[in-house]
Amino acid sequence: MMELPPTRAGHVGRALSASAILLFLAMPIVIILVTSFGADGIGTFPPKEYSTRWYEQMAAPGGNWATSIALSSLVAALTTVFSLILGVTAATALARGRLPLHAAVYGLVLAPMLIPQVVIALGLFLFFEPAGMLGSPLAIALGHTVLAAPIAILIMISTLKGIDERLEDAAASMGAGRMTIARRITFPLATPGLIAAAVFSFITSFDEFFIAQFLSTPDTRTLPVLVFNALQFDVDPTVTAVSAVLIALAILALALVALVRKLGGHRTGRSALPVEPLT
C-alpha cells in the first residue's frame, strides 16, 4: 500500500503482533509433537526424558488404539470412494454442463458445510438407528460423505474449470470420441485435483468426531471418538502419540497435495475452505 510511507513504530508493531499471534497458533501443535516423545506423558513441558513408549503402546496389536485406527482407516477409505464418485459427477454437472436449477443444486452441495454438524449427526442417528446400522462402518462412512463430498465437489469444480474445454474440442476435431477424450485428455489433466479431493475426503473422515460419536457403539469407535473419550474421562498419555500421528498425517497429506499440484504444473483447486463461494 502506498497511502503514506509506513512509520517505523507501525512496522515494528505490526510485525510483533503478527509474530505473537502466529507463535500462539503454532505452539499447541509443536507442544504435542514434542510431548509425544516425553517419557513422563503429559507431565511437564518440555519433557525431562525422551522415549517412544507411547508410540509402541499405540501400535500394540489388539489394543483399543490399533483397532480404532483400523476402523477409522476403513471408514475414511469408503468415504473417499463415495466422495470421489459424487465429486466427479456433481462437478461435471456444475462446472461444465448447462444445468437447470444450477443454483439450487449448488446450494444443496454447500449446505452441509454450513449447517451445524450436531444437527446433521442427530439426523443421521435418527436415520440409521431404526435400521439397526449403528456402529456399522458403512453407516459412518455414508455420514462422513455428507461432510466430505461437498469439499471434494468444490475441489473438482475448480479443477474442471481450470481445464480449457477447448482442449476437448481440439481432441474431438481430430476424431476422438467422448470416452477417448475423457480417458486421454480430461482425466490426466484432472489427476492433481482428483488426488487433492481424495486426500481431503480421507482426512475429513479420519478426523471427524461428531457423526462418528453419534453413529458408534461401544465396540466400534473411530479414532477421534477414542481420543475424545481419552481426553474427557481417562487421561491416557498414549493420546499424545496418537495426536502427533494425526498431525503428521495432516501435514503429509497437505504436502502430497502441494507436490502433485506442482508436478501437474497447472493450478487447480485452490482452497478446500468454503470461503470463496461465500464472499
Site for another protein in 65-94 (CB under 8 A): 82, 85-86, 89-90, 92-94
Site string for another protein, 17-56 (x = CB under 8 A): xx--xx--xxxxx-xx--x------x-xx-----------
For residue 5, give the C-alpha cell: 510511507
Q: Helix or strand or coil: residue 50?
A: strand
DSSP 93: I
The answer to whether 152 touches 84, Cβ cutoff 8 Å, is yes
The answer to whether 50 touches 38, Cβ cutoff 8 Å, is yes
Orientation of helix 223-232 relative to helix 64-91, angle to 10°: 130
Of the candidate residues 75, 124, 160, 212, the single one contacting another protein (CB under 8 A): 124
Give 60 or 251: the residue with its C-beta nearer to another protein: 251
Q: Strand pairing partners for 217?
A: 220
For residue 244, give the C-alpha cell: 502427533
Binding to another protein by residue 209, rule CB under 8 A? yes
CA-to-CA separations, 182 to 153, 254, 268, in angstroms, rounded: 18, 27, 18
Stretch near another protein under the rule CB under 8 A, chosen from 49-57, 60-68, 73-81, 208-216: 208-216
Type of residue found at 88: V
DSSP per-residue codes, 94-145 = IIIS--TTHHHHHHHHHHHHHS-HHHHHHHHHHHHTTTT-TT-HHHHHHHHH
In the complex, minimum distance from the CB of residue 60 to another protein, in angstroms, rounded to a whole number: 21
In the complex, minimum distance from the CB of residue 52 to another protein, in angstroms, rounded to a whole number: 19
Of the candidate residues 12, 60, 70, 108, the single one contacting another protein (CB under 8 A): 108
Give 28 or 63: the residue with its C-beta nearer to another protein: 28
Give 62 or 233: the residue with its C-beta nearer to another protein: 233
In the complex, minimum distance from the CB of residue 15 to another protein, in angstroms, rounded to a whole number: 7
What distance in Å separates the CA atoms of residue 263 and residue 230, rounded to the nearest whole number?
41
Stretch near another protein under the rule CB under 8 A, chosen from 47-55, 59-67, 73-81, 223-231: 223-231
In the complex, minimum distance from the CB of residue 63 to another protein, in angstroms, rounded to a whole number: 19
Binding to another protein by residue 217, rule CB under 8 A? no
Binding to another protein by residue 183, rule CB under 8 A? no
Stretch near another protein under the rule CB under 8 A, chosen from 47-55, 56-64, 73-81, 199-207: 199-207
Stretch near another protein under the rule CB under 8 A, chosen from 1-9, 55-63, 73-81: 1-9
Dihedral of alpha carbons 270, 275, 277, 279, sign: negative
